[in-house]
Structure 1
Amino acid sequence: MKILLYGVSHKTTPIEIRENYTIEEKKLPEQLAEIKSFLGVEEAVILSTCNRIEYYLYIDQTKFMHGEMLRYLSDHTGYEISEVISTSYGKSNYEAAEHLFKVATGLDSLIIGETQILSQVKQAFAVAIEQKTSGPILNSLFNKAISFSKKMHTKTNLDQLSYNPGTAAVKLYKEEWESIVDKRFLLIGSGKMVRLTAKTLFYQGSTHITLTGRNEQKVNDLAHELNLWAQTTRHSDVLNRYFFTADFDHLPMSIAVADGVIAATKAPYHLITEKTIEEMAAIRLTMKKQLFMDFAVPRNIEPSIQYIEGIQVFDMDQISFRLEEVDSDKEKIVRKITTNLNEEVAAFKQWYQERNAVPYLDELNEHMLELKEKTLTSLERKLPELTAHQILLINKHMHSMINQMKRKPIESLKEYARKNTSKESKNELELFAKALGISVGSEETEQPAEVLVAESQGISVETTNKTI
């Protein structure tokens, strides 16, 4: 048995290729059912976002055919199988587990530490649970990854991390206002920096972001792209607008209604001047402080406006200083999270390996219970004067004694199971089990019995499997 991962992401595959792997949300159940029907596939979960499409499978290696999955992806994308191999990546067992932990925590995201991916992982898991394609192994893996991500976001400032000036700018805004949910932002430009900053603002809770620029068509196209992205990110069937556009010819009016202004264009001159601010002041109805960020070099904002009351301006030198602080924070936080992540993956690895001992543990438990029942029946027959209360006490003490007797054999069985998955190790496990009087063969190995709660969007989903 093996955990497999097939995927593409923004880290490995450009968007023009990645978009061909995209899965429409309404077709996810259909794809899950089709993949689950492949020979040897025991469990399946599909994670589909704007930046990645990943297939998590739990398979029986003796039955599963790798080529069948590649042909399926070939049919879905329109690529030749050789192209699927060259454009996608694959991972197995603990590498796949480690990858999911990083994905759920936001360490593998375009914006490091963003929290939206966690809800997307939960949603993917919920769909698999609903379609009954996930089971004990992937349930455990996804539950642990989701729980770990929540813990890391609670204990660290992970969601404030990134590698772009937009993050430093947002950090400055949050230092000034604590929350930016009710603030209005004006972004001037239509390039990559504006796109990243707009997404960072959105991730941090801003819902009213206006774009403007000298090229009206580019601005409109970017706003449309961002609104579609936001709709996909929020998994909404209703197209809510979070990104708006404004006429660049009326720049003073756009600035007047903004709390934060960010300029990031290639214009070799000042777009916002003292005159612009004078015209804005005549329109603006409040004297609330405004924060201006200038990402451009040469600068788009005339430096002298920082001396106007109620206005604070940060240029790239100042923002870069804050970005260094963010990078410093990032390094410390990511190092801490990685240490914790390695521990969590090691714990999952141990749990996964101990599954090999499950049939022997079940047999041992059944043998002990059978022995207890026979002994109790014999006592009741030979000592008919025993009261119900006395029998209950005897049963309780026998149960405690059995648990103590089982402890060492259970630890030893799990230890043998943890050694490795080689045939020699399995033989050692089987020989030890036989020495205990347990005759379960490796061919009779069953799924580990466990009760797992799949937490997704507030819905608790339980399987009827047992735990080791």
Structure 2
Amino acid sequence: MVVVKILLYGVSHKTTPIEIRENYTIEEQKVPEQLAVIKSFSGVEEAVILSTCNRTEYYLYIDQDEFKHGDMLHYLSKHTGYEISEVISTSYGKSNQDAVDHLFKVATGLDSLIIGETQILSQVKQAFALAIEQKTSGPILNSLFNKAISFSKKMHTKTNLDQLSYNPGTAAVKLCKEEWETITDKRFLLIGTGKMIRLTAKTLFYQGVTHITLTGRNEQKVNDLAHELNLWAQNSKKADQLTRYFFTADFNHLPMSLAVADGIIAATKAQHYLVTERIIEEVATIRLTKKRQLFMDLAVPRNIEPSIQYREDIQVFDMDQISFRLDEVDADKDKIVKKILADLSEEVADFKQWYQERKAVPYLQELALQTIEIKEDTLASLERKLPELTEHQLLLIDKHLQSVINQMKRKPIDSLKEFARKKSSNDPKDTKNELKSFARALGFSVEIENTEESPEVLAIESEEISIERN
């Protein structure tokens, strides 16, 4: 019998085509509401939702005796509009170590559409921060997400994976170059004002494109972004001739803007198509040339109606198609990924060990309280019997007394943690009782009811012993 505690429900570009995946997406402003709904389900103790253009994932920490999988399946069915059987066939589920391993890969960019891209790390951090803000994450998921984020930062610092990878925006620009051979003479229209569009605009600038137009539904944001980018371009070494590279266009006149563009890259949070068949029909009456146009749709749900790709002189790439075209991992990146996976396995094993050792937390807490009481009583007795002791002398005695206590605690702490890690029974209740009996043999009296109250005890005890050993 396996104790299921950490669960993951999700869809991603690896398992689910975009036309299905987009039905799982969550509007940014609705994530807090959905966190609250899921947290209200029986047995759900903690929850984090990760929603990006390429994945929607629900990380849960549950009480397996109370939790009902049917609650999540009904919720996903209502959210997507699919029957429960369709939810089961279109999504994936992972538990415990598999879920932990998956999050580490996601945060590091190893599960991304573009291997090694760094935008996902900021998205994981934002998802975690929101769960903290909404008070839906707790000791277990806090530890899991903190460790995954820390590991990702370390790997991107330790390796040069960043230099070998593309974010979706740079990938779209690279694909444009492959299609046209050169893009310096092309006119680009960027639809949106988010981080993806900002990165894409800068990539186009670095590639020598001199005419980049921005448009979007929020005119003020478009103007602000264009101003920001032009200041950035003027301060760069490449801006030695032109003082303006980035222009703006009225979104209300989108057909006109599309008509004069060669490449169109869209990345907005709109829940419906912004570039439709009807708009393209209007563009056809305006556009003076029959030169091929490339449409890059970086959004999920998609911003560009897929059916326009069947029109003459138009080619449309969505995120799945961009991934398929650029899915060529070179030898250097392959070596780096293998090294990261080896380190990742160690990190996941460390988390598993931490998780198992949590069963010993009540006893470690009792030990900490006992030693604090003993030390305080001893110091108080010394002060009464030796009133001539100076403050400096008392501090020295305190320090050495703590050193002795730490050395004496080392064996019981290590023994409790080692026993907690052992799987001595297939029944978790038997395992808990065996740990209780072992703790009593060491002189502890606490009843093990809730190991979630003081997760920091493990870290504190480990730190004390580490300092003492050094």
| TM-score w.r.t. length of structure 1 | 0.65
Q: Which amino acid aligns with 2:447?
A: G
- 49, 55, 63: which is aligned to 2:66? 63
Q: Equivalent residues in 2 for 1:311-330 (5 A)?
A: 326-330=329-333
Query: After superposition, what is the alpha-carbon deviation per residue over 1:33-67, rounded to whole angstroms, capped at 9, x for unaligned?
Result: 11111122111110011111000111111221111
Following superposition, the deviation at residue 169 of structure 1 comes to 9.2
Matches of 2:124 and 2:160, distance apart in 1: 20
1:338 alignment counterpart: 341
Following superposition, the deviation at residue 225 of structure 1 comes to 11
Q: Which amino acid aligns with 2:200?
A: F
Following superposition, the deviation at residue 163 of structure 1 comes to 13
Q: Equivalent residues in 2 for 1:66-77 (5 A)?
A: 66-77=69-80
Change (3 A) 1:385 1:420: same
Q: Which amino acid aligns with 2:456?
A: E
2:382 alignment counterpart: 379
Following superposition, the deviation at residue 391 of structure 1 comes to 3.4
Query: After superposition, what is the alpha-carbon deviation per residue over 1:397-441, rounded to whole angstroms, capped at 9, x for unaligned?
Result: 211110111111111111112223843443332222112211222
2:27 alignment counterpart: 24
What CA RMSD, in Å, does the superposition of the two structures yield over aligned residues? Answer: 4.2
Query: After superposition, what is the alpha-carbon deviation per residue over 1:158-188, rounded to whole angstroms, capped at 9, x for unaligned?
Result: 2324799x969959x9xxxxxx9xx957499
1:445 alignment counterpart: 451
Determine helix, strand or coil for the equivalent of 2:456: coil
Q: Are the equivalent residues in 2 in contact too, given 1:168–1:323 (CA < 8 A)?
A: no
Following superposition, the deviation at residue 378 of structure 1 comes to 3.2
1:116 aligns with 2:119: yes
2:91 alignment counterpart: 88
- 31, 38, 43: which is aligned to 1:40? 43
2:200 alignment counterpart: 202
What is the number of residues matched between the two proteins?
353
- 391, 395, 398: which is aligned to 1:395? 398
Change (3 A) 1:416 1:386: same
Q: Are the equivalent residues in 1 in contact too, given 2:201–2:212 (CA < 8 A)?
A: no
- 255, 265, 289: which is aligned to 1:249? 289
Q: Which amino acid aligns with 2:449?
A: E
Matches of 2:7 and 2:116, distance apart in 1: 25
1:10 aligns with 2:8: no
Determine helix, strand or coil for the equivalent of 1:437: coil
Q: Are the equivalent residues in 2 in contact too, given 1:416–1:425 (CA < 8 A)?
A: no
Q: Are the equivalent residues in 1 in contact too, given 2:173–2:200 (CA < 8 A)?
A: no
1:434 aligns with 2:440: yes
Change (3 A) 1:16 1:401: same
2:414 alignment counterpart: 411
Identity among equivalent pairs (%): 66
Change (3 A) 1:149 1:206: farther
Following superposition, the deviation at residue 220 of structure 1 comes to 5.2
Determine helix, strand or coil for the equivalent of 1:82: helix
Following superposition, the deviation at residue 250 of structure 1 comes to 8.3
1:359 alignment counterpart: 362
Following superposition, the deviation at residue 448 of structure 1 comes to 3.7
Matches of 1:157 and 1:396, distance apart in 2: 45
Gaps of 5+ in 2: 189-195, 214-254, 271-282, 295-308, 314-324, 463-470
Matches of 1:224 and 1:90, distance apart in 2: 42
Change (3 A) 1:185 1:125: farther
| TM-score w.r.t. length of structure 2 | 0.65
Q: Are the equivalent residues in 1 in contact too, given 2:186–2:263 (CA < 8 A)?
A: no
Matches of 1:66 and 1:37, distance apart in 2: 14
Q: Which amino acid aligns with 2:58?
A: Y
Q: Which amino acid aligns with 2:289?
A: D
1:106 aligns with 2:109: yes
Matches of 1:206 and 1:154, distance apart in 2: 26
Q: Which amino acid aligns with 1:427?
A: N
Matches of 1:225 and 1:355, distance apart in 2: 55
Q: Equivalent residues in 2 for 1:134-153 (5 A)?
A: 134-153=137-156
Determine helix, strand or coil for the equivalent of 1:112: coil
Matches of 2:359 and 2:263, distance apart in 1: 49
Matches of 1:210 and 1:169, distance apart in 2: 13
Determine helix, strand or coil for the equivalent of 1:5: strand
Determine helix, strand or coil for the equivalent of 1:22: coil
Q: Equivalent residues in 2 for 1:146-225 (5 A)?
A: 146-159=149-162, 160-161=164-165, 170=174, 184=184, 186=186, 202=200, 205-206=203-204
Matches of 2:368 and 2:291, distance apart in 1: 76
Following superposition, the deviation at residue 381 of structure 1 comes to 3.7
Following superposition, the deviation at residue 6 of structure 1 comes to 0.5
Following superposition, the deviation at residue 155 of structure 1 comes to 2.7
Matches of 1:413 and 1:224, distance apart in 2: 67
Compare 343-352 and 387-396 and name the one that shifted more: 387-396
Matches of 2:48 and 2:327, distance apart in 1: 37
Following superposition, the deviation at residue 248 of structure 1 comes to 7.8
1:277 alignment counterpart: none
